[in-house]
Every structure is written in structure tokens, then in C-alpha cells.
Amino acid sequence: MEEVFESSILYGANPFFIETLTISDQVVAFKTQKGPFGLFSETTTILRRRIHRVTIETDILGSNFNIYFFGDTSFGNQVISGKHFKKSDVREIQRILIG
């Protein structure tokens, strides 16, 4: 199973900085495209078993999420933050990751 969620310009995202969250059975990958046509991108990949909390924030122009996870080398929390996603997508992300 692989689910893909993207931020949208309809919910306030910049068309040059699209964010994509891909959830598979073992890992979660968060990709941020920077620049026109995604010329520059940054991807963060984490194991699903390291995730311990997902928070969501909703407003008029869409929803944001924070995925908190334990890093490989640090003892503290690390976070992935996604902005300008569809409200139903953010709720589905939380349901898939936390249950």
C-alpha cells in the first residue's frame, strides 16, 4: 500500500514550493520541491515505527500537519511539518500513521 498526498495551490500553497508526503508500509517520505518545475528538492525519509505523534491544524485555507518522530542519532523529538494540504487529506494522514 502506498498513499501520496500533495499540498495544493487551492489551499494556499506556492506553486513553486509543492510538498508531497508518501506513506508506504515501512517508511514515510516527505519531499519539498523548491524552484520552478521542482528543479531543487529535498526529501526526508523516516521509518514508520519511529513516529509517535501526529498533530493537525486547520484553518480556512487548508490544513497543516506535524509528524513527530524519534531520530536515528538524537534522543529528542524531530518533526516534519507540512502546510497547505486538503483538510480531508490531513485527517487521513493522521488516521493512517496513528490509527
Check residue 33 and give its pLDDT: 87
pLDDT per position as a tens digit, 11-52: 988 888 899 999 999 999 999 988 776 678 899 999 999 999
Residue 73 has pLDDT above 80, yes or no: no
Tally Cβ neighbours within 10 Å of residue 25.
Answer: 7
Domains contained in the chain, CATH given? 3-98 (2.30.29)
2, 21 Cβ separation under 8 angstroms: no
Neighbours of 74 (CB within 10 A): 8
Whether the per-residue pLDDT at 64 is higher than 90: the answer is yes
User: Coil, helix or strand for 20?
Assistant: strand
